[in-house]
Amino acid sequence: MFIWNVLPFVNDYVASLDKALTEYKDGCELSSLQKRWLSICIMGIIVTNTICWKKNEGATIGKYRVAALSWMFRRARIVWELLVVMSVKVIVEEYGIKDGCLCIDDSDRKRTKNSKKIGYIHKIKDKGSGGYIMGQNIVF
């Protein structure tokens, strides 16, 4: 499947997220470019079922290059910590959730011993063997 246009519910979600950021703290709103980028990233996750810049580029048939997608992620002046909190707030309000338990999944991604070209690789404890591996920690 290819990304031609952003689905309406993704646009609604990003607009709600921007509104929540603006209401929480002045100056934290998303620019129109940041909203478009975030929408494309969310669509990429939905379409490819992964969090991968290269697959997002493929899903957009090269319209959005890996360098542009990852540059925005690294360089954008987005308050990421606040974005996560407001995202949870938007979802909880949208679905009218009154109580529950929010769980965090701390998954480890094992990598090869020679992984110098992958960003944010560090030595982590391997839960299975008790030893150490080079890898990334992804928290959902």
pLDDT higher than threshold 90 for residue 100:
no
SS3 helix, strand, coil % of the chain, rounded to 5? 45, 10, 40
pLDDT at 107: 63
Phi, psi dihedral angles at 125 (to 5 degrees): -75, 125
One-letter identity of residue 14: V
pTM of the predicted structure, to 2 decimals? 0.68
pLDDT higher than threshold 80 for residue 14:
yes
pLDDT at 3: 63
**Cα→Cα distances 69→57, 63, 86, 114, Å:** 8, 11, 22, 25
Q: How confident is the model at residue 102 (pLDDT cuts 50, 70, 90)?
A: confident
pLDDT higher than threshold 60 for residue 23:
yes
pLDDT at 67: 82
pLDDT higher than threshold 80 for residue 111:
no
DSSP structural state of residue 127: T
User: What does the pLDDT look like over 67-96, one tens digit per residue?
Assistant: 877 787 788 888 888 988 899 999 999 999
Q: Are 30 and 71 in contact (CB under 8 A)?
A: no
How large a percentage of the chain has pLDDT more than 90? 21
User: What does the pLDDT look like over 26-64, one tens digit per residue?
Assistant: 888 999 989 988 998 888 888 888 877 788 788 777 777
One-letter identity of residue 106: D
pLDDT higher than threshold 70 for residue 118:
no
